[in-house]
C-alpha cells in the first residue's frame, strides 16, 4: 500500500527543535513537573506565575508527545458527552464539566493575549454533526442535554462542509491553535530565578517522602516539595491508572486547500467512521485541512496503514485535496468519561497526576493545570472534587469489564502468537512475533533485508507487544506503551525499553 504525504506531525514539522539541557546535577525546586506536553507546560507556567520555582522535566523534547500529535481543538462541545454525563453523574456534575471546559478556553485565550504568543490562536465555532437518522437522534439528545446545563448550543440544519448532513449542534466561541508554537513559547518563559527546563531526561521513579525526590535515569535527582506527573498515562503504577483507563490511537492526514473551498469552523461527526475536521493557517499563507478519525484501541490492529488510506480517500473524495502529511496520536479514555486530576493516591500528599483526557486533551490539559496549581497553592478550585483522581472508580461497567478482560486475554493469549514461527519468515518492511529458543521475540526486517530483533515482552507489566504496520512500531495492547524497531521507547507508561534479542 502506497500512502501519500510526509509521515510526521505538521505541528512538529512547522516548528524548530527545542534544545534544553539534560539534567546533569541535583536540583532543588518547589515543584517538579514530569512531562512537557500541554498539561505539564501549563501547570509549570501557572505555578511560576504564582511565585513557585519549578523544574519541567521531559524524557524527549517539549511538545513532541501526545500534545504534538493532536487536532488541537479547544472546545467544551466534545462530540457526544453531556447526555451520557447526566445519566452517569447527574446534572450538577455535568454542569461543572461544561463550566470547567468553557473556563479552560477562556484561560488559554487570556494567556495567549497577555504573553503575546504567536500560535495561530483563533476563536471558532465547533460543530458535532450527523449524516443519518440515528445520528440525528443522538444530536437532538445531546443538544437538549447541553442546553439544560446552560451551554449556548444551538441546532443547525446545514454546515459548511461538502457533504449532506441531517443536522448538527453548534457551540460558538470555541478555539483552535498551533499547540507546539504555544508550548515552546510558554516553556521559554520558565527558566531563570531558580526554575529550570530539562529535556532528554527520563524519570525512573518518584519518592513521596518529606521533600519529594524525582529519580532520573540520567543519575541526578530533582528534589521538590510537590511533584506533578503529566505523562499522558502516569509512569508511576501506583494508583492503578493503567487499569482505570484504556489506550486509544487515532489518525490524521493533512493537505493544502484553497481558502474559498475550506471549512470555516471545527467539525466532528458521530457514528461509525466519523471524521474530525478543521483547518490551520500555515506560515507561508496557505491553509492546511486536517482530517482525523479511524480510532481503535492500541495494539488491536496491525493493518493500520489501511486506516490512513481511508482518511486519504475521504480527503480526496470530499474535498479534492491531496494529502501532504499523515500522523497518529494516542490518549487514554477513562471509564467514567471524566479525567483523573489530583493527588496520586490518598496516601500521597505531595504527588499529583493528570490523565484520562479521553481524546480531548487540549481543553482538559488547561483544566488540569488550573486544578493542580490551585491545589498546590492551597486555593479552592470549583472543579477539584469533580476530577478528584482518587475518586471511586467504576470497575464494574460494561466498558471497564470489557477492557480489563481484554487486557487479561492479551496477557495470556498473546504468548501463543508466533509459537511455531521463525525470523526467516519475516518479509522486508514487515514485523512479526516469532519464537527463538523458547523466548518470544519481536522481529522486524527493514527494506534492505536487515533483521532487527528485540524482546516481545513489554517491560511495563509483561504483556506481549503487537506490530503496527503504518507506524513501524511495537505497541503494547494492554496499557499502550510503544517502542520503535530497536526497542526504544516511543510512548509510556513504560520507563524501560525492550530488551535486545538475537535470533542467531
State the virtual CA torsion across 355, 361, 367, 371 in degrees, nearest 10: 20
What sign does the CA torsion over 408, 411, 414, 420 have? Answer: negative
Domain ranges of the chain: 6-69+181-241+337-394, 121-174+244-334, 413-491
User: 84 is written with which cell numbers?
Assistant: 451520557
- What value does the mean pLDDT take over residues 254-259? 97
Question: Which homologous superfamily does the CATH classification assign to the domain defined by 121-174+244-334?
Answer: D-Amino Acid Oxidase, subunit A, domain 2 (3.30.9.10)
User: 360 is written with which cell numbers?
Assistant: 480531548
Instruction: Please enumerate, as own/partner, the contacts of 90-99 that have beta carbons within 8 Å and a separation of 24 or more.
Output: 91/148, 91/149, 93/386, 94/145, 94/149, 95/149, 95/150, 96/382, 96/383, 96/386, 97/338, 97/386, 98/146, 98/149, 98/150, 98/151, 99/150, 99/382, 99/383
- What value does the mean pLDDT take over residues 17-31? 97
Give the pairing type, strands 482-483 and 489-491.
Answer: antiparallel
- What value does the mean pLDDT take over residues 35-55? 98
Q: Judge whether 169 and 154 are in contact, CB under 8 Å.
A: yes
User: 442 is written with which cell numbers?
Assistant: 519481536
Q: Which residues contact 186 (CB under 8 A, 6 or more apart)?
A: 41, 42, 45, 111, 115, 117
Report pLDDT for 497. 93
Write the pLDDT tens digit of every residue in 322-374.
999 999 999 899 989 999 999 999 989 899 999 999 999 999 999 999 999 99
Model confidence at 477, in pLDDT bands (50, 70, 90)? Answer: confident
- Per-range mean pLDDT, top range of 157-171, 431-445, 451-465: 157-171
Report pLDDT for 241. 87
Q: Which residues contact 456 (CB under 8 A, 6 or more apart)?
A: 418, 433, 440, 441, 442, 464, 465, 474, 498
**Same CATH fold, 121-174+244-334 and 6-69+181-241+337-394?**
no
* CATH of 413-491 among 3.30.70.260, 3.40.50.300, 3.40.50.620, 2.102.10.10: 2.102.10.10
Decide if pLDDT at 186 tops 70: yes
Report pLDDT for 85. 97
Q: Report the candidate in 392, 471, 474 with the shortest Cα–Cα distance to residue 433.
A: 474
Helix (H, G, I), strand (E, B), or coil: what is residue 244? coil
Decide if pLDDT at 406 tops 60: no
User: 355 is written with which cell numbers?
Assistant: 490523565
Helix (H, G, I), strand (E, B), or coil: what is residue 302? coil
Tally the C-alpha atoms within 13 A of residue 299's C-alpha that lie toward its C-beta. Answer: 27
Kindly report the three-state secondary structure assignment for every residue of 386-420: HHECCCCCCCCCHHHHHHHHHHHHHHHHHHHCCCC
Q: Judge whether 362 and 70 are in contact, CB under 8 Å.
A: yes
Report pLDDT for 401. 47
Model confidence at 396, in pLDDT bands (50, 70, 90)? Answer: very low
pTM attached to this predicted model: 0.91
> Looking at the chain, how many residues does it have?
504
Task: Determine which of 9-13, 216-220, 467-471 has the lowest per-residue pLDDT on average.
Answer: 467-471
Q: How far apart are CA 103 and CA 341, in angstroms?
A: 16
Give 266's strand partners.
126
Model confidence at 425, in pLDDT bands (50, 70, 90)? Answer: confident
Write the pLDDT tens digit of every residue in 110-139.
999 999 999 999 999 999 999 999 999 999
Report CA 189 to chain centroid distance, whole Å: 24
* CATH of 6-69+181-241+337-394 among 3.50.50.60, 3.60.90.10, 3.60.60.10, 1.10.1050.10: 3.50.50.60
Amino acid at each position: 500500500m502506497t500512502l501519500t504525504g510526509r509521515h510526521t506531525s505538521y505541528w512538529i514539522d512547522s516548528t524548530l527543535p527545542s534544545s534544553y539541557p539534560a539534567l546533569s546535577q541535583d536540583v532543588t525546586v518547589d515543584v517538579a513537573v514530569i512531562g512537557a506536553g500541554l498539561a505539564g507546560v501549563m501547570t509549570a507556567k501557572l505555578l511560576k506565575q504564582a511565585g513557585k520555582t519549578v523544574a519541567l522535566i521531559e524524557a524527549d523534547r517539549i511538545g513532541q508527545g501526545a500534545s504534538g500529535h493532536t487536532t488541537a481543538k479547544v472546545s467544551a462541545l466534545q462530540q457526544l458527552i453531556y447526555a451520557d454525563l447526566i445519566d452517569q453523574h447527574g446534572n450538577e456534575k455535568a454542569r461543572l464539566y461544561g463550566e470547567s471546559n468553557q473556563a479552560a478556553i477562556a484561560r488559554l485565550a487570556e494567556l495567549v493575549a497577555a504573553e503575546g504568543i504567536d500560535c495561530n490562536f483563533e476563536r471558532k465555532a465547533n460543530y458535532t454533526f450527523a449524516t443519518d437518522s440515528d445520528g440525528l437522534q443522538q444530536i437532538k439528545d445531546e443538544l437538549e442535554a447541553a442546553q439544560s446545563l446552560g451551554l449556548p448550543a444551538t441546532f443547525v440544519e446545514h454546515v459548511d462542509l461538502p457533504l449532506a448532513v441531517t443536522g448538527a449542534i453548534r457551540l460558538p466561541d470555541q478555539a483552535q491553535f498551533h499547540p507546539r508554537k504555544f508550548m515552546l513559547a510558554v516553556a521559554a518563559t520558565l527558566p531563570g530565578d531558580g526554575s529550570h527546563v530539562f529535556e532528554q531526561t527520563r524519570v525512573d521513579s518518584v519518592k513521596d517522602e518529606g521533600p519529594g525526590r524525582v529519580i532520573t535515569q540520567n543519575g541526578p535527582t530533582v528534589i521538590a516539595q510537590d511533584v506533578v506527573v503529566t505523562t499522558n498515562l502516569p509512569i508511576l503504577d501506583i494508583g492503578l491508572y493503567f487499569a482505570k483507563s484504556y489506550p486509544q490511537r487515532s489518525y490524521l492526514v493533512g493537505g493544502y486547500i484553497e481558502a474559498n473551498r475550506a471549512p470555516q469552523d471545527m467539525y466532528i461527526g458521530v457514528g461509525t467512521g466519523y471524521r474530525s475536521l478543521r483547518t490551520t493557517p500555515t506560515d507561508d499563507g496557505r491553509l492546511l485541512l486536517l482530517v482525523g478519525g479511524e480510532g481503535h484501541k492500541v495494539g488491536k490492529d496491525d493493518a493500520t496503514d489501511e486506516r490512513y488510506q481511508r482518511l486519504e480517500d475521504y480527503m480526496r473524495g470530499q474535498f479534492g485535496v491531496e494529502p501532504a502529511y499523515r500522523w497518529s496520536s494516542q490518549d487514554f479514555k477513562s471509564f467514567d468519561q471524566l479525567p483523573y486530576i489530583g493527588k496520586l493516591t490518598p496516601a500521597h500528599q505531595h504527588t499529583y497526576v493528570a490523565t484520562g483526557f479521553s481524546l480531548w486533551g487540549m481543553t482538559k490539559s488547561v483544566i488540569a493545570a488550573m486544578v493542580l496549581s490551585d491545589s498546590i497553592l492551597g486555593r479552592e478550585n470549583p472543579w477539584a472534587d469533580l476530577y478528584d483522581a482518587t475518586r471511586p472508580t467504576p470497575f464494574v461497567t460494561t466498558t471497564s469489564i470489557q477492557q480489563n478482560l481484554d487486557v487479561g486475554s492479551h496477557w495470556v493469549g498473546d504468548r501463543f502468537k508466533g509459537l511455531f514461527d521463525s525470523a526467516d519468515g519475516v518479509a522486508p518492511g514487515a514485523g512479526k512475533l516469532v519464537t527463538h529458543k523458547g523466548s518470544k521475540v519481536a522481529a522486524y526486517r527493514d527494506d534492505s533485508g536487515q533483521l532487527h530483533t528485540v524482546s516481545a515482552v513489554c517491560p511495563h507489566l509483561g504483556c506481549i507487544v503487537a506490530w503496527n504496520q503504518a507506524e513501524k512500531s511495537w505497541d503494547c495492547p494492554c496499557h499502550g506503551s510503544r517502542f520503535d524497531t530497536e526497542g526504544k521507547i516511543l510512548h509510556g507508561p513504560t520507563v524501560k525499553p525492550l530488551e535486545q534479542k538475537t535470533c542467531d
